[in-house]
């Protein structure tokens, strides 16, 4: 008698990669009766654009759906693989009730810092056009319906060496940071096995953070066109620009290339958020900080020092 398949486990590699390593992770966490599906999309294809990759994964899903119409899915995506699956699910909400859970690993949900360096004016240079896109609204919409876990590495106090920590976080997901693991190693590191297995025991949809002054300030900054999450280790170089009555502070810093950074800290001085804008979007950041001066009455308001 044939063994009944319990789950389809889709595992998707990211940029400049193939399915070998992510498949090893999937095989390590898969239940005995799971069918692991870890396609290689073509290394060179990952350099030119995400749209053909999304369509390839969609077609693969349709083929498996025809063969296994009643079997639930688990999904793991490393880096761009997580972004591909966000796009697939966003375009196919009829599949959401099939998904047991979604795990994204080192995925630049709100846009990759390196993509902004390659394509600072967002003119559409290869895959940088797609990796620099902010998909946080998509991720939060999906995570309200599908239990989602975001795993991030941290090797320097703010990133895994390629993806900044803050860009991997979003509402409604469970978030776990694993220190000491660089970006490339996340896709198959054994320390992720118990994390994923524990999540699968009882996958939950996390309630969003209760809005407060700090989250409102962060949301206003994130809504600026071209805002990219920054490495929070640069927070130590910043200076206070606005200090709000409850102790929350907004800090700014301009790096050696003249790129404007902004940070938000809590009452204890811990950095809650960091971001930066390119030269063309600097006026929007200046405008937003001006609005925060006017809308929220600060106890101390220092001059905006970014030219």
**243 forms bridges with which residues in the sheet?**
249, 300
pLDDT of residue 127: 87
Q: What is the pLDDT of residue 2?
A: 53
| pLDDT score recorded for residue 29 | 98
d(CA 90, CA 94): 10
Q: What is the pLDDT of residue 119?
A: 67
Write the DSSP symbol of residue 94.
G
| pLDDT in the model for residue 307 | 33
CA proximity to 110, closest of 148, 146, 88, 82: 82
The predicted structure's pLDDT at residue 17: 97
Quote the pLDDT of residue 122.
63
Residue 178 has φ and ψ, to the nearest 5°, of -115, 105
Domain ranges within the chain, ordered by starting residue? 7-201, 213-301
Nearest to 107 by CA among 160, 179, 146: 160
Which tens digit of pLDDT belongs to each residue from 4-40?
899 999 999 999 999 999 999 999 999 999 999 999 9
Which residues of the chain, if any, have pLDDT below 70?
1-2, 118-124, 295-307
Residue 303 has a pLDDT of 40
pTM for the model: 0.90
Alpha helices (runs of H) in the chain, residue ranges in sequence order: 20-29, 51-67, 80-91, 113-118, 128-131, 136-143, 183-186, 192-201, 213-222, 282-295
The CA-based dihedral angle spanning residues 87, 202, 94, 90, taken in that order and rounded to the nearest 10 degrees: -20
- Number of Cα atoms under 13 Å in the Cβ half of residue 135: 26
Residue 33 pLDDT: 95
**Residue 280 neighbours by CB distance under 10 Å:** 12
Name the residue among 208, 229, 307 with its Cα closest to residue 272. 229
Q: State the Cα–Cα distance between residues 169 and 8, nearest whole angstrom.
A: 26
- Pairing mode of beta strands 73-78, 99-105: parallel
Asked: is 7-201 a CATH 3.10.129.10 domain? The reply is no
- Report pLDDT for 8: 98
Q: What is the pLDDT of residue 302?
A: 39
- Cα–Cα distance measured from residue 57 to residue 46, given in angstroms and rounded to the nearest whole number: 13
> What 3-state DSSP class applies to 112?
coil
């Amino acid at each position: 008698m044939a063994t009944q398949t319990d789950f389809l486990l889709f595992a998707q590699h990211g940029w400049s990669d193939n399915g070998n390593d992510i498949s090893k992770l999937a095989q390590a966490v898969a239940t005995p009766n799971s069918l692991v599906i870890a396609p290689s999309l073509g290394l060179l294809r990952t350099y030119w654009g995400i749209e053909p990759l999304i369509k390839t994964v969609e077609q693969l899903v349709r083929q498996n759906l025809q063969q296994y119409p009643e079997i639930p899915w688990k999904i793991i995506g490393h880096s761009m693989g997580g972004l591909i699956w966000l796009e697939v699910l966003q375009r196919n909400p009829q599949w959401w009730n099939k998904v047991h859970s979604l795990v994204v690993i080192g995925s630049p949900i709100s846009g990759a810092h390196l993509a902004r360096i390659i394509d600072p004016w967002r003119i559409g240079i290869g895959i940088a056009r797609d990796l620099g896109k902010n998909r946080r609204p998509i991720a939060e919409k999906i995570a309200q319906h599908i239990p989602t876990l975001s795993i991030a590495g941290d090797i320097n106090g703010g990133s895994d060496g390629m993806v900044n920590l803050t860009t991997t976080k979003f509402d409604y997901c469970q978030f776990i940071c694993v220190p000491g693991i660089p970006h490339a190693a996340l896709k198959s590191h054994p320390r992720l096995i118990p994390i994923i297995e524990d999540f699968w025991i009882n996958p939950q949809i996390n309630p969003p953070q209760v809005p407060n002054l700090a989250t409102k300030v962060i949301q206003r900054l994130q809504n600026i066109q071209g805002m990219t999450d920054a490495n929070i280790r640069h927070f130590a170089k910043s200076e206070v620009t606005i200090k709000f009555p409850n102790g929350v502070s907004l800090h700014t810093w301009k790096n050696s290339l003249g790129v404007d950074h902004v940070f938000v800290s809590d009452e204890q001085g811990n950095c809650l958020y960091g971001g930066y804008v390119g030269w063309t979007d600097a006026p929007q950041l200046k405008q937003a900080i001006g609005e925060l001066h006017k809308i929220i009455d600060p106890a101390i308001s220092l001059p905006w020092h970014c030219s």
